[in-house]
Structure 1
């Protein structure tokens, strides 16, 4: 049965048919069109629906995968996948038959990405292309093994910079209105960017002084919700914000009233204005965890606030090298080692002889 979805003020109808364990999707302009397509798919033999790989080009495979991805994934993830294919087709002919794509071609493309950008960027391209081909193997009868199943490239990833709490408040103080309240929400809810971007007033329960946070950072990409209490400070700020709000979104893009998508350089610019070292939105989430840990909040409680499924993920957020420190201190507290004086501890007479 078709279902509708509102995207960018446009209503789309999604036709969705399951045939012999395989799912077929299509984005339609109307319910009538979606119903007609579903009816046609149900009447067509499955063998005819499965396009032989010999007649499929790379661009046809990608087009079908992106149609599926547009329905399946969040807008940010869909955009990431689409950009990956654009880069890929700058190096590889999109009219190439899928059977003619060789692993060495994929490897050379990843190598170029590693050289021009980074090993991390190459591995990210590999992840997206690998997933798309696996989808094609399952639904489009693409050849196996997957040509994108190459070795990963070495990554030189720097540890995430987490600002001192004072720097956060310096940034907070120079902001006004919605931007300032949004910064407070990042800190007091330990929220991810996308979680605040999609937050609606329906998700804010003023009577219960709590907020419903939706995340896709779970298995399968389905949107899951958790309720978090609002601090008194955040509650008061949200109450004031609600009185002047005219949008169903709590934090809409003021330029168009729609959800934010990417604000890649915004916070960096604000940090420079505040005279502090630039940090990202996700670093605020780490800062929240760090503040709670320093206040001796139990790890399980921090896990619930961060909404991690695994406690080990929370521990990685806040512990770092700290568990190693007491162990290393054992080495400096050993009294059985020989007392070796430094050059500054040698008596003057002995020092002159030594020299």
Structure 2
């Protein structure tokens, strides 16, 4: 894939020849990028033909080396792909990790990065946690395999590295009362944000992406868009409004700034332009820690609100298929992971166990008593 599109920027050509990367950006049309690539390849061929051939006694056998590229270039190309095809949150996570890798290996070629170098790095990351190290490994492996898939490199130094063992823990899922207390501790605008998330069971990115065009007051539903699909395409789903959500959005709509399409937006400092701009939220990580402390409840972030709502519906006999549809899960098994409840069969099994245990204990106790009395009378 030497010619590809980067969403919001344009077409780009990118190829490696004789271990050297050649790229140019941004073309309005794919055909323009293809023509520019062809011209560049032709120039390289001509340069190669014009190079003087060394005398016979100085000629050596030319050994072709595997295709390779600078690790920094591979990371940048992978980041371009993630930004175009994945969610903003995934891109932000990737960029955060990539900056650490580039500090270590940014001046190296990919084939200079060995398994031993990566293992030393990952063992260092286990000092934070094995989960942290495993995340680094997943993202690194995705980067190298992206390079192989696009014929930029031929090696994946993570191939023989195994994931570190981890302990599965039950995530902290807040109760309805705890969520109520956190919402009550928030400012009015944040209260609306949390109610929207709570009563749609939406992901953070879906609420941040919500515009007034996605809100239908007549049909009383909202349309949420997610990139949690293969290929990164935005996929819509409809979620019916609760009475509370209808009240919240109706009030916000009446007081909205008509020049802003988003339901939730803010003014922030843009590091790229060096100016204050207005736009939708990208993430609001810090606010939940402050609100949980203020409400005096155990710390949780936005995502457990989805888990809490799904579990609440499951406990009240809402069909699993309906919960799956509301959450926007393609697979039923994913929805089941969200449900932190014991179903009827689990309860019945434990009740049967308890009755059997008590009955057996009673029988053994009665037998021992009879044996003891017989011994005393004998």
Could you say whether these structures have the same fold, taking a TM-score greater than 0.5 normalized by the shorter chain as the test? yes
Per-residue deviation, 1:318: 1.3
Per-residue deviation, 1:36: 4.5
**Structure 2, unaligned stretches of length 5 or more?**
16-21, 46-64, 269-276, 374-378
Counterpart of 1:192 in structure 2 is: 203
Matched, 1:337 2:356: no
| 1:114–1:122 Cα contact (<8 Å) kept | yes
Counterpart of 1:13 in structure 2 is: 9
RMSD: 3.4
Shifted more, 245-254 versus 316-325: the winner is 316-325
Per-residue deviation, 1:95: 1.7
Give the TM-score, by structure 1 length. Answer: 0.82
Change (3 A) 1:153 1:4: closer
Per-residue deviation, 1:189: 0.4
Give the TM-score, by structure 2 length. Answer: 0.77
| 1:25–1:67 Cα contact (<8 Å) kept | no
Q: How does 1:80-159 map to 2 (within 5 A)?
A: 80-90=93-103, 92-115=104-127, 117-144=128-155, 146-149=156-159, 150-159=161-170
Shifted more, 236-245 versus 253-262: the winner is 253-262
CA distance in 1, matches of 2:349, 2:222: 41
CA distance in 1, matches of 2:23, 2:82: 10
Q: 1:41 aligns with which of 37, 42, 54?
A: 37
CA distance in 1, matches of 2:158, 2:300: 34
Per-residue deviation, 1:41: 2.1
Q: 1:215 aligns with which of 217, 222, 226?
A: 226
Change (3 A) 1:55 1:312: closer
| 1:25–1:68 Cα contact (<8 Å) kept | no
Per-residue deviation, 1:79: 1.9
Per-residue deviation, 1:72: 2.5
**Which is higher, the Rg of structure 1 or of structure 2?**
2
**Structure 1, unaligned stretches of length 5 or more?**
6-11, 351-355
Per-residue deviation, 1:250: 0.8
* Number of residue pairs the alignment of both structures matches: 330
| 1:190–1:288 Cα contact (<8 Å) kept | yes
| 2:6–2:80 Cα contact (<8 Å) kept | no
